[in-house]
Amino acid sequence: MSGAYGDWEPVIGLEVHAQLRTRTKAFCGCATSFGDPPNTHVCPACLGLPGALPVLNRQAVALAISAALSLGCKVHNTSVFSRKHYFYPDLPKGYQLTQFDRPLATGGGLEVEALEGRRWIRLTRIHMEEDAGKNLHGLGGLSLVDLNRAGTPLIELVSEPDLRTPAEARDYLEKLHAIGMFIGANDGNLEQGSFRCDANVSVRRSGEPLGVRVELKNINSFRFVEDAIDGELRRQIRMLERGETIRRQTRGYNAEKRESYLLRDKEGEDEYRYFPEPDLPVLAVDEAWIAERAAALPELPEAKRARFRLQFGLAEGAARVLTSHPRVAEFFEEASALCGHGVKVANFIQTEVFRGTVTTGLDAVFPVSPSQVAEVVELVESGAISGKQAKQLYAELVGREVSPRMLAQTLGLKMLADEATLDSMATALVAANPKQAEQYRSGKTGILGFFVGQLMKASGGSADPKLASELVERALATKSGV
């Protein structure tokens, strides 16, 4: 592969861990609440105490099925939970309940944006499992364990090694993230670790077998995923070009230093000593339940993006931005429905509203309401106020439950459309700038923007832009004797 990595071809696969939005854990009744005091949501089952038996959370299965269907996977009628053995302080049972050789779903995938166009990235499988606890380091020189997260239900989405650039990996991750939020399966909160990924990275020369892969562990930022993969690719290429051997490892990523570091040599599957969980029966999912979950799926981000382009005439970039979060998409649709100016609403949201919008997981707080945005756009489109005045009006609207039309009247904001007044101002501007006027008359018509800008400035941004442009052109023509 030519380009950023010379004749080396990157080979990238992602393992995405997405916590499921349930009130209780995967195999017990403890709450999944985030941010509570350590070890307050624990019980004999999630602590791994002898004699405690797991009971599978039905809602977790329902959400996992929805995620699988949204990605075109085959949901299997039967799947099996197994014990994955490893010993770490945040795993109180000494094993993790997960699905191994018989997962919930297989196949499916999604498209990513690539240099050569859109490419299909295959999914290998989606399986259910429980999350581990969390190790807390550096507290008074100690390392402590919080088991509130232990047992939280999640799905792992494993891709085939089809990704070829860090940018593709980021796009893939962003699209999975959006899908999980739009279907309500995952809250999308990267900061809280409810959506994170491991990246399997290797390089090879074109036509050669797959290289030795290195796993980058627990990355919870789109930018960090891209940076970490790029850094790891370059590290492996440097080693291979020096004649060194790549070892199969698990590595962490230091975002400040922008480099990976060794965690441990990678375990093989046999080292986990998988065997079926004896205390859980085979998970049976009938076709009726699958059909029910399929019928309940909402419009997915890709379909919504296409509809926004067709229904509202949005550009691809705007459509993508406005479908990046379900609450943002809802805000845009409500405002557009109220005023009927989809493109103008989209532009206003992106340039003004986004500056004060705060999203936290599935929640979003907007500085104004959709109806206020619709009314501001309608005031501009009807000629009541200018675009510059709309920005002034918006600044006064933020955080206030007031009608934009009433506030505009209170502030004395209105479009200056008096032709005689504007004509006099245009004539004066042309007379005051003879050099620029001559440049316009000699064929440099781009100078017209200078005059219109000066007229808008002189009117305090209140002039009707279209009328201002017409009158400046007329003044310039008049002065040239035409």
The pLDDT, as a whole number, for residue 434 is 82
Q: Return the C-alpha torsion angle 132, 136, 137, 138, nearest 10.
A: 180
Q: Which residues contact 149 (CB under 8 A, 6 or more apart)?
A: 131, 132, 133, 134, 193
Helices (H), 313-414: 316-322, 326-339, 342-351, 370-381, 387-397, 404-411
The pLDDT, as a whole number, for residue 269 is 67
Give the whole-angstrom CA distance, residue 116 versus residue 121. Answer: 14
> Which amino acid appears at position 377 of this protein?
V
CATH topology of domain 419-479: Arc Repressor Mutant, subunit A (1.10.10)
> Which amino acid appears at position 92 of this protein?
P
| Residue 303 φ/ψ, nearest 5 degrees | -65, -40
Instruction: Residue 93: name the closest of 281, 283, 279, 282 by CA.
Output: 279
Pairing of strands 81-85, 275-276: antiparallel
The pLDDT, as a whole number, for residue 480 is 46
Give mean pLDDT in consecutive 10-residue pieces for the chain, a chain of 482 residues.
Answer: 80 97 97 94 93 96 98 98 93 95 97 88 98 87 92 98 96 96 95 93 92 91 94 95 94 88 78 93 98 97 96 95 96 96 96 94 95 95 86 93 92 69 76 80 79 74 71 72 42
What pLDDT digit, counting tens, does each position of 72-82 carry? Answer: 999 999 999 99
Where in the chain do CATH 1.10.10.410 domains reside?
419-479
Backbone CA torsion sign across 239, 245, 248, 251: negative
Pairing of strands 81-85, 78-79: unpaired
CA atoms within 13 A on the CB side of 380: 23
